[in-house]
Amino acid sequence: MMDDQIERRVLESFAKQTMMQTLGAEIIEVQSGRVKVGAPVLPGAMQQQGFGHAGLTFSIGDSAAGYAALSMLPPEVDVVTSEIKINLLAPARGDRLIATGRVVKPGRRLCVVTAEVHAETDGEAKLIAILQGTIVPVPAS
pLDDT at 1: 55
Average pLDDT, integer, range 65-84? 96
SS3 letters across 49-67: CCCECHHHHHHHHHHHHHH
User: Mean pLDDT for the chain?
Assistant: 96
How many folded domains does the chain comprise?
1
What is the per-residue pLDDT across 25-48, written as a single tens digit (0 to 9) for each? 999 999 999 999 999 999 999 999
pLDDT digits (tens, 9 = 90+) for 85-118: 999 999 999 999 999 999 999 999 999 999 999 9
3-state class (DSSP) for residue 21: helix
* Residue 93 near residue 47, CB atoms below 8 Å: no
Please report which confidence band the pLDDT of residue 141 belongs to, taking 50, 70 and 90 as the band edges: confident
Calculate what percentage of the chain has a pLDDT beyond 70.
99
pLDDT at site 15: 97
The CATH number of the domain holding residue 127 is 3.10.129.10
Strands of 77-88's sheet, edge to edge? 26-31, 34-40, 96-105, 111-121, 124-139, 77-88
Domain range for 114: 3-139
The burial of 16, by beta-carbon neighbours within 10 Å (0-12 exposed, 13-18 middle, 19 or more buried), is given as: exposed
Question: Model pTM?
Answer: 0.95
